[in-house]
């Protein structure tokens, strides 16, 4: 009676939720509802991260995507959307283009995932033997330049710095764009 294997069950639950809400984002036409479904989809993805033992990444997902980006998105919608932008209509050509782009990405990802031998699925005994390791310290050490799993390889200090500087540039750019402009005409005020 040990038929239910809980990790698999929760994997399918969370991945199913993520996919279902992603489809719901596509199918809904109201932009605020889209944001709501996107939150649920990203939250389910965070659940997948927790299931995989990557607790830090999962909490990061919740903090940045669900808590931060989505709030910003809804703020943007509320501040900018006029009547005709709140409900979005998708034309047939857009559907075709979106299916081509998304389908190509899905094909590549699926192909890549199943071409790696370790990802083709493992036995129950092997799955039981895998114990999730704490992930915070290795990530932090890696970002500071030392890999705990393999000391002979270098860490991620340079990419981390590049990303940080990039984010700073984005921040300054956003502040520049959003600064109080001198009003040249009345059109800008509206």
Partner 1 sequence: MAPFLSQYIWTWLAYTIAGLVHVALILNLVAVGALVFIWLERKISGRIQDRLGPTRVGGKFGWLQTLADGIKLLSKEDLAPGGADHFLFKIAPYVSFCASIAAFIAIPFAGGEYPWIAQHLNVGVFFVLAVMGLEVFGVILAGYSSASKWSLFGAMREAAQVVSFEVPLGMCVVVPVLIAGSLDLVVIGDSQAGWFTNWIVFHDPFTFIIFWVYCTCATASVNRAPFDLAEAESELVAGFHTEYSGLRWSFFFMAEYGSMFAVGLLASILFLGGWHGPIPVTDFLGIVSENGPFVGYLGQLIGAVNVIGKGVIAVCVMMWIRWTLPRLRIDQVMATGLKYCTPIAAAMFLGATLWQLQMPGKAFFGLIDLPASVYAIGDGGSADKKQPEDAVKPSEEQDQIAQATLAAPKLTRKGL
- Within the chain, how many helices (H) and strands (E) appear? 10, 0
Residue 65's closest CA among 41, 87, 83? 41
Which span sits near partner 1 by CB under 8 A: 14-22, 97-105, 129-137, 182-190?
Answer: 129-137
* DSSP secondary structure code for residue 144 in this structure: T
As a whole number of angstroms, the distance between CA 22 and CA 34 comes to 9
As a whole number of angstroms, the distance between CA 46 and CA 62 comes to 6
- Collapsed DSSP state (helix, strand, coil) of residue 135: coil
What x/- string results for residues 19 through 58 when contact with partner 1 is judged by CB under 8 A?
-----------x-xx--x--x---------------xx-x
- Decide whether 17 or 55 has the Cβ nearer to partner 1: 55
* Whether the Cβ atoms of residue 106 and residue 116 lie closer than 8 Å to each other: no
Compute the least distance from the CB of residue 165 to partner 1, in Å.
Answer: 17
Q: Which of 19, 23, 27, 71 binds partner 1 (CB under 8 A)?
A: 71
Residue 148 within binding range of partner 1, rule CB under 8 A: yes
Residue 100 within binding range of partner 1, rule CB under 8 A: no
Give rounded-to-5 percent helix, strand, coil for the chain. 75, 0, 25
As a whole number of angstroms, the distance between CA 161 and CA 136 comes to 18
Q: Which of 75, 107, 114, 119 binds partner 1 (CB under 8 A)?
A: 75
- Decide whether 13 or 55 has the Cβ nearer to partner 1: 55
As a whole number of angstroms, the distance between CA 12 and CA 10 comes to 5
Q: Which of 8, 90, 110, 137 binds partner 1 (CB under 8 A)?
A: 137
Residue 62 within binding range of partner 1, rule CB under 8 A: yes
Q: How many CB atoms are located within 10 Å of the residue 50 CB? A: 17
Q: Which of 16, 67, 103, 159 binds partner 1 (CB under 8 A)?
A: 67
Q: How many residues of this chain interact with partner 1, rule: CB under 8 A?
A: 43
The binding site for partner 1 (CB under 8 A) comprises 1-4, 6, 30, 32-33, 36, 39, 55-56, 58-60, 62-63, 66-68, 70-71, 74-75, 78, 133-138, 141, 144-149, 151-152, 154-155, 157
């Amino acid at each position: 009676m040990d038929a239910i294997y809980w990790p698999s069950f929760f994997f399918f639950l969370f991945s199913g939720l993520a996919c279902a809400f992603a489809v719901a984002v596509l199918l809904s036409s109201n932009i605020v509802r889209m944001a709501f479904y996107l939150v649920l989809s990203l939250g389910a993805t965070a659940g997948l991260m927790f299931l995989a033992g990557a607790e830090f990444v999962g909490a990061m997902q919740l903090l940045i995507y669900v808590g931060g980006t989505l709030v910003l998105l809804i703020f943007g919608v509320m501040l900018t959307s006029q009547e005709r932008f709140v409900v979005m209509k998708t034309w047939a050509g857009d559907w075709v283009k979106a299916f081509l782009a998304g389908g190509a990405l899905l094909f590549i990802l699926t192909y890549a995932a199943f071409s790696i031998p370790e990802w083709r699925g493992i036995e129950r005994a092997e799955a039981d033997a895998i114990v999730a390791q704490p992930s915070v310290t290795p990530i932090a050490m890696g970002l500071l330049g030392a890999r705990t799993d393999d000391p002979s390889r270098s860490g991620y200090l340079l990419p981390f710095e590049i990303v940080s500087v990039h984010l700073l540039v984005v921040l300054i750019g956003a502040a520049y764009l959003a600064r109080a402009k001198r009003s040249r005409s009345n059109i800008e005020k509206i």
